[in-house]
Amino acid sequence: MTATGERFAKINAMPAYQQVAEAIERKIVDGGIRPGEPIGTEAELVRQFGVNRSTVREGIRLLEQGGLIRRSSDRRLFASLPRYQRLASRISRALVLHEVTFRELFEAMMAMETATIEQAVDHATAADIAVLEANLERTVAAEGKPGTLAELDTEFHTLLANASHNRVLQLAREPSGLLIYPTTEIIFEKVRESQPRLVAAHRHLIEAVRGRDKDAARSWMRRHVNDWRKGFERSGKSLDHPIERVYAEHLMVASGERR
């Protein structure tokens, strides 16, 4: 910009608290501090960075929300792996704020859930299947309770994702699962046949996983996801409406992260 040209590189474009945050972040990401290891006290960080304690605290706050550092019960800071639940609810919230439609959600779910069950067919262990069956039993027992059914349905699909043993898929599908959840409760309330169809679908999905039958698995999953769409429309809603803002609020509980 000056007449002399670019003689010097820019220095220090970031405020101090951001530099503190980035320095700690970098140490964690590149392995200098492993998850579970303590970050150090505020006083130590003050000494190392040579800035004021308020500045250090602001830097810490930046990272705290990202899940890279957490606080134990005694309020000490330590490095941590970002949790899937936390990330997923963030993304769900963002999708709501961006006003995505239920149709987008439906189309994406169809792809990700079928992919998930295909991987589950390949990789599920006996233990995975046992957990799925326990979920199915509770689902059968929850007859007539829409809230419980919705919870168990959401849990079933999360368990299926665990059974896929593919963490990329797990994280990719979870946000959609969280957004679908409130609608399923309404569907179970309003559409009588939805519950027996849910139980049948889950039963066949488990059977397909156990029998390593990928075609049956995919076919039942397609049917199951389509059932959601039909139930959704039959309960009087339109696929082309954006997801209601209200759904974002129940997501904040997860991000509140009580101590």
Q: Which residues bind DNA (CB under 7 A)?
A: 15-17, 41-43, 50-55, 57-58, 71, 73-77
Neighbouring-strand partners of residue 70:
78
Site for a copy of itself in 27-86 (CB under 8 A): 29-31, 35, 54, 57-59, 61-67, 81-82, 84
- Residue 169 binding target from a copy of itself, DNA, none, CB below 5 to 8 Å by type: a copy of itself
- CA quadruple 170, 171, 172, 173: dihedral sign: positive
Say which DSSP state 245 is in: T
The C-alpha atoms of residue 111 and residue 117 are separated, in whole angstroms, by 10
Q: How far is 257 from 242, CA to CA, in rounded Å? A: 28
Residue 52 touches which of a copy of itself, DNA, none (CB < 5 to 8 A by kind)?
Answer: DNA
Instruction: With beta carbons less than 8 A apart as the criterion, state whether 69 and 77 touch.
Output: yes
**25 contacts a copy of itself (rule: CB under 8 A):** yes
Closest CA to 77 of 52, 45, 55: 45
Which positions lie near a copy of itself, rule CB under 8 A?
13-14, 17, 21-22, 25-26, 29-31, 35, 54, 57-59, 61-67, 81-82, 84, 87, 90-91, 93-98, 100, 104-105, 107-108, 110-112, 114-115, 118-119, 165-169, 171-173, 175-176, 245-246, 248-249, 252, 256, 258-259
